[in-house]
Structure 1
Amino acid sequence: MLIFPNAKINLGLQITEKLSNGYHAINSCLYPIPLNDALEFVPAKKKTAFNSSGSSIPSDGKDNLVLRAYKLLKKDFQLPELNIHLHKNIPIGAGLGGGSSDAAFMLKALSDYYQLFLDDSFLESYAAQLGSDCPFFIQNKPALASGTGTELEPCNINLSGYHLVLIHPGLHISTKEAYAGTNPKEPEHQLKEILEKADISTWRETLVNDFEESIFKKQPILAEIKAELYNHGAIYAAMSGSGSSLFGIYKEQPPIINAFSEKFFYRTMSL
């Protein structure tokens, strides 16, 4: 079976509280975008094996989320041994949810292919055991995430007809490092109100990613990329998640930013 897990971007990311367990409470809108990995599995004659191509993944794949998703379902259901191949096109550690998407799509595909008949709520409960972004990719529709990121509600937003420029400069920013530089606070503007009621032209002033302030100080190239997205006509630009990908949303087909298109991972797409 061949499937194509897609990436996501964060439209706003508010860090509202540090919890007693050390995690943080957030508000964010997760929005799916048409940038895809390719994931295939077929029955194996021997033991389950995992391999990958494209962007290199950490270690030897033993802890890859796709394999963990398979093993998680295999504990509760009779699944055969598989040969699994993942072609990575979504940049790794970029704030785009690529690994989480791969895992969630694996859960959905196994349920469909082997007729496990798991509904979305069951799949989301499995996905939550794999990572905070994973449950979003079960329904794979715009959603407001709150709590530690796993509490989801639909977000009535549609960016169809807009264009996206996505740039990943290849920097790795650990989640721990990203949170260390933030100061949780009550947001000045409610995310749901901004996204569902305000015009997109107002987002530049109101839709904020709280990670940007501290991370941009440490990695000024990210601030430079964001500024150039605006200079080249973006109506909204931001970092996705804790980085280091940045994106710009455009009304018209965007121009190529030559300073970055030849040096970094650079994609344009229609939403």
Structure 2
Amino acid sequence: MLTFPNAKINIGLRITSKRPDGFHNLQSCFYPVGWTDVLEIIPADQFGFASSGLTIPGDEPDRADANLCVRAYNLLRADHAELPSVQMHLHKVIPIGAGLGGGSADAAFVLKSLNERFALNLTDDQLENYARQLGSDCAFFIRNKPVYCTEKGDVFSEIALDLTGYYLLLVYPNLAISTAEAYAGVRPHQPDVALRDQLLEPISTWRATIHNDFEDSLFPRYPELPAIKQQLYEAGAVYASMSGSGSTIYGIFDAPIVIPNQFRTYRVWKGKAGTEK
């Protein structure tokens, strides 16, 4: 079974408070985009996992807790003894430490693929509950459609946000930022206006109102990030921002975009925006 786990971008990200469990409460919008990995799962006599493409840091397939794909399989197997052994191959394309949720997408697609291939008959709600055990944003990729998210980023509500007709350019400046590093510099605060309300205003207003709080601490540390954001605006972006807690900067355009020459040494993806992948 061959699937294509896709990335997401954050449209706005506000860190509103620190939780007693050490995590942070936030407000954000997750939006699926078409930058994908490739995941193959086939039945086998014994379990195996292999990867190609981009190197996955710390990946040790012989350890049960090493890779999110392996953890996803083991999580389902613990409750479903009828799940057979499989061979999984992940071809990694989505950059790591980029704020795009690639690892979470891979794990979610393992859950969905196993459920479909072996007729486990799990509902989306059940799959989301499994996914939440693997990562805060992992559950998003079960339904894989735009959502407004709160709490740890794993509580979702519908939002009438549709970027169909717009074009996206994602720029990864070959810089991996860990979640721990990103959160070390944040200062939680309660916004005066809920992000949800601002997201429903015309995109032309977003530049002045919608912000990713991680930019406040990471932009001074990595000057190439604000430079990319400014270059996207100079190239005609209607809105540009950092995605998640990683280093990818994206632009939303109202017309097809030619990749600017200054981005040629970076990893980039461009394509049409839509409501679902």
User: What's the TM-score bracket when you normalise by the shorter of the two chains?
Assistant: over 0.9
- The residue identity in structure 1 corresponding to 2:217 is S
Shift of 1:3: 0.7
Alignment correspondent of 1:14: 14
CA displacement, residues 44-92 of structure 1 (integer Å, 9 cap, x when unaligned): 12x2110011111122334111111011000111111111100111111
SS of 1:75 mapped into structure 2: helix
Alignment correspondent of 2:192: 188
- The residue identity in structure 1 corresponding to 2:269 is R
Aligned equivalents of 2:8, 2:20: Cα separation in 1: 29
Alignment correspondent of 1:138: 142
Task: Note the 1:30-45 alignment, pairs <5 A.
Answer: 30-45=30-45
Aligned equivalents of 1:142, 1:218: Cα separation in 2: 30
**Aligned pair partner of 1:72 in 66, 72, 75:** 75
CA displacement, residues 179-201 of structure 1 (integer Å, 9 cap, x when unaligned): 121111111331111112x1000
- The residue identity in structure 2 corresponding to 1:49 is G
Alignment correspondent of 1:242: 245
Percent identity between matched residues is: 50
Q: Is the 8 A contact 2:179 2:246 kept in 1?
A: no
Any runs of at least 4 consecutive aligned residues in structure 1 with deviations exceeding 4 A, and if so which?
none
Moved more, 125-134 or 182-191: 182-191
- The residue identity in structure 1 corresponding to 2:202 is D
Structure 2: stretches of 5+ with no match in the other structure: none
Alignment correspondent of 1:102: 106
Aligned equivalents of 1:9, 1:188: Cα separation in 2: 23
Structure 1: stretches of 5+ with no match in the other structure: none
Alignment correspondent of 1:49: 48
SS of 1:30 mapped into structure 2: strand
Moved more, 141-150 or 59-68: 59-68
SS of 1:222 mapped into structure 2: helix
Aligned equivalents of 1:120, 1:138: Cα separation in 2: 7
CA displacement, residues 130-180 of structure 1 (integer Å, 9 cap, x when unaligned): 000111111101001100111111111000110001000121212122112
- The residue identity in structure 2 corresponding to 1:31 is Y
CA displacement, residues 213-270 of structure 1 (integer Å, 9 cap, x when unaligned): 110010010010001000110000000001210100000011321011x211012111
Task: Note the 1:82-101 alignment, pairs <5 A.
Answer: 82-101=86-105
> Is the aligned partner of 1:220 residue 2:223?
yes
Aligned equivalents of 2:166, 2:192: Cα separation in 1: 27
CA displacement, residues 90-130 of structure 1 (integer Å, 9 cap, x when unaligned): 11111000010011111011111111110011001000000
Q: Is the 8 A contact 2:50 2:89 kept in 1?
A: yes
Aligned equivalents of 1:189, 1:165: Cα separation in 2: 28
SS of 1:176 mapped into structure 2: helix
Alignment correspondent of 1:265: 267
How many residues are paired up? 268
Q: Is the 8 A contact 1:141 1:154 kept in 2?
A: no
Aligned equivalents of 2:132, 2:148: Cα separation in 1: 16
